[in-house]
Amino acid sequence: MGTAETTLQLTLSERQTADFEMIGNGGFAPLEGPMGSADWKRSVEEMRLSGGGYWPIPITLATDLECSEGDVIAISSDEGESLGRLNVSEIFERDVELEAEKVYGTTDDAHPGVAAIREEGARCVAGTYEVDTLPGHEDAFMRRYLTPAESKAEFEKRGWKRIVAFQTRNPIHRAHEYLTKAALETCDGLFIHPLIGKTKEGDIPADVRMHCYEALLEDYYPQDRVILGVLPAKMHYAGPREAILHAVVRRNYGCTHFIVGRDHAGVGDYYGTYDAQKIFDEIDLDELGIEPLMFEHSFWCNACEGMASGKTCPHGGDEHVFLSGTKVREMLGNGERPPIEFSRTEVADILIEAYEQDPRLK
């Protein structure tokens, strides 16, 4: 489509900028722009697009900008970068309460995903994006940035046929290391794909996490079997539905398998511990195009003298080393090192320094 003249301007929010990037780089294929009412409705009610294919969370553009169908809107990022244009095909009102109930399983404002869509509002503009450029990122991210086309090319270059993806928004501790290596035992390659988009207050900042990942990969993973990328998407904290979205996205990046662990994409007590695994029982995996690998909660067992899970360890909980995220943050904030059975020394050092110096963690 050729470039059209426009006088309409829209600066996206941080969350909307992440959606633009995921659409523009191919991570949200087959979406070509923010959803219209038909896609929104079927995504909310059936976890599908109007034309078929799984899509469990609506990707919409809520705005009060006065515009009409057929208009072309110049799009800028939340930081003011000129990104491209939106060709408007529809303007509609979404049912925010229905979306909250169906997608997030709650209408509680304390849920960050529900709070976000309520803040955005009901009026949505749909259409297709013309992408001139993708949003910029810090160098720490850009040196690891791969588009779906680039990751597929890299997998092919390495001769990988079975590629397992690991989604994370936290530093990798010993339990994560254990399950990624267990998955790697049956796959050719591991794609560690941390999310660097908008997370919630209190999460470890993305740049600190990248430092942790790189330190861990340098000493504890085979370099020729692992690729570290970055996912510029936002978190929805939609639990089970987001696990499916994360799988769809990793399929688009060329992965054949996807790790689904304990409380995947959850927040608070809104979802059951393994709800994000159970939802795949409702999914046609052949149609989905990527296979979930289910892992139980893992831990260090003093009696086993190693990492284990409920599937492999016969011992009681008094032998297990498990720390909640709250407890770990409390320890780091006090300059205390989590036990080696929970976190590698190199990772703990990075986190302690970050807690001492980074005002985002105060």
What per-residue confidence (pLDDT) applies to 333? 85
Determine the pLDDT at residue 234.
94
Residue with tokens 């990969």: 217
| 161 shares its domain with 289 | yes
CA distance 23 to 134: 10
Residue 321 confidence (pLDDT)? 92
CB 16 within 8 A of CB 77: no
Active-site residue set: 169-170
| Cβ atoms of residues 176 and 266 within 8 Å | no
pLDDT, residue 2, reads 45
Q: Is 166 left (phi over 0), alpha (psi -120 to 50) or beta?
A: beta
Residue by residue, pLDDT tens for the chain (362 residues) are: 444 566 899 999 999 999 999 999 999 999 999 999 999 999 999 999 999 999 999 999 999 999 999 999 999 999 999 999 999 999 999 999 999 999 999 999 999 999 999 999 999 999 999 999 999 998 889 999 999 999 999 999 999 999 999 998 888 889 999 999 999 999 999 999 999 886 667 678 888 889 999 999 999 999 999 999 999 999 999 999 999 999 999 999 999 999 999 899 999 999 999 999 999 999 999 999 999 999 998 999 999 999 999 999 999 989 999 877 677 888 888 889 999 999 999 999 999 999 888 877 76
* CATH code of 310's domain: 3.40.50.620
For residue 111, with 0-12 CB atoms within 10 Å meaning exposed, 13-18 middle and 19 or more buried, which class applies?
buried
Total domains, the chain: 2
Could you tell me the residue range of the domain that residue 240 belongs to?
A: 139-361
Rounded Cα gap, residues 187 and 164, in angstroms: 7
- What is the reported pLDDT for 207? 85
Residue 318 lies in a domain: yes
Whether 1 is in a domain gets the answer: no
Contact yes or no for 126/88 (Cβ under 8 A) = yes
Listed in sequence order, the DSSP H helices in the chain are: 14-24, 37-46, 96-99, 112-120, 139-142, 148-158, 174-184, 206-220, 240-252, 275-278, 285-288, 325-333, 345-357
Pair 114, 161 in one domain: no
pLDDT in tens, 187-206: 999 999 999 886 667 678 88
Domain boundary among 131, 162, 181: 131
Domain boundary among 101, 131, 161: 131
User: How high is the pLDDT of residue 361?
Assistant: 79
Structure tokens of 122?
Answer: 């009901």
